[in-house]
Structure 1
Amino acid sequence: MIEKVNPQHPDKVADRIAGAIVDLAYTKQNNPKIAVEVLIGHGVANVIIESSVAFSKEEVYTIVERITNCDNLQLNLVVNPQDAHLAKNQDGIIRCGDNGIFKGMPLTDEEWELSQIARGIYERYPSDGKYILGGDELVICQSNAKTEELKKLYPTATINPLGDWTGGTDVDSGATNRKLGSDMAQSVTGGGLHGKDLSKADVSVNIYAFLKAQKEQKPVELFCAIGDETVDGKPYFEIVEIAKDYINKVGGFEKFAEWGLF
């Protein structure tokens, strides 16, 4: 059984905003240190950034406006420098940026199937949607779509059980890293994937463990402590490079935030 949400779900909107801010940080500095939290809904976007690079309110507002397609949002922005003690962790060498336990799991046929269903529906209806697949039972909740139209495409599915709906951040609030099951399937452990630079284990080690599990087709379990220079027998900078290559292939942190790992 698995749930998937699409890029216009309010939580994914928050993830995408956070990812776009991280993308911007990487244009300002080769290896920025950054953590972004976003809470958005009902005309207000709250954004907190801790970073080694500076951001103007105009830069952040442009990102929020573009992703939400809304030009009258109230932006509450807090930008602070990275904590000096944490910054020292990376002096001279790329080390593990935080503590964590991590699990990579091979994706099941069911998980792959729902991922493709979600993407197919989103191509037709690019608005807030969420989907569940459990065995032969498919549940589709798709905003701004006529239920009878979806019934023609998925005649055996349960579709919009409470009727047609509009969705989006005017109906619901969204927060970063709140849809980890949709992002990671059974690989969910501690930390979230979005709004962080590649030194953070929540990003790099999660991606590494997921990719290793797909390659070996068996579960992968790892842990690390802040300051570690090796993970899974590899120098931490190699883990970071593997994750960086993956992020680049999908088109950056914002694109990564749209669907997560699958």
Structure 2
Amino acid sequence: METINYLKLQAKNLYKDFKTQKTYFDSSFGGDYFGYTPKYFDVDALVTDYNINEKKFTLMNAQHIIAKLAGFDKWTELSDSSESALELGKLLFDNMHKIRPEDWHFYILDIENANDILLDDEDKLGIFIQVFADVEGHQSYGYDYRLSSNEEFANEEPKVKKVKKKSLKQITVLPLKGTVRSKFITIANSVFEDDLERLEVRQPDAVRKLWNAEKYIDEILLKPDMLPIDQDYALSLVSAFLVHHVISLADETEEDDLNAS
């Protein structure tokens, strides 16, 4: 199946899920609610996170949501993209449990800024395959809106919409201090060791000598122009971005060896 047709199918599936909509009165809440018996997507979560108008949901709206989940701003941008960009969008959709599209865009921006380059669609696709698609262990701090394909929903009654609780903790001042800073440093050290093993770095001890979790958190990860930022979202950036920093440190150790010889 062509990539564009695959994404069109996801939009049709999402639209089918919305068409299972039923209105019912819930006495415990004292009002009418929309309920769904979806097969493909967690409709309630999508409604909450994307501020969807449940009374006027069309196939075009479904296409817009799928475009967002595939890393595009809108469906027209998706349909006009290169084959490499479409393939990347499909991989972002299929791997939403590993990384959110927002985190991926920040990840690429970080690479481009650090190396003063502009990556094309083919470069981005290759990076995603190498770092995320073909590598297990990544865990997104976002939400996987897909439902398991083998679940059966035919006999379920409509349920009250589940509103996912969002973090109320915001980072408004840098550098981080106290227990928040300690939490970020602890997670950074843990992710660093995982990335070091996953990347099979040839000189891990040399890379460890260059690694400084405090400096990474204080000077590299978070910047003033990112504030205010949700604390949980900021923590997700550690997992999304640190692998690139580890690669840079590994390259630095190899370059030092070449200069020494």
Shorter chain as denominator, the TM-score bin is under 0.3
Structure ranking higher in helix proportion: 2
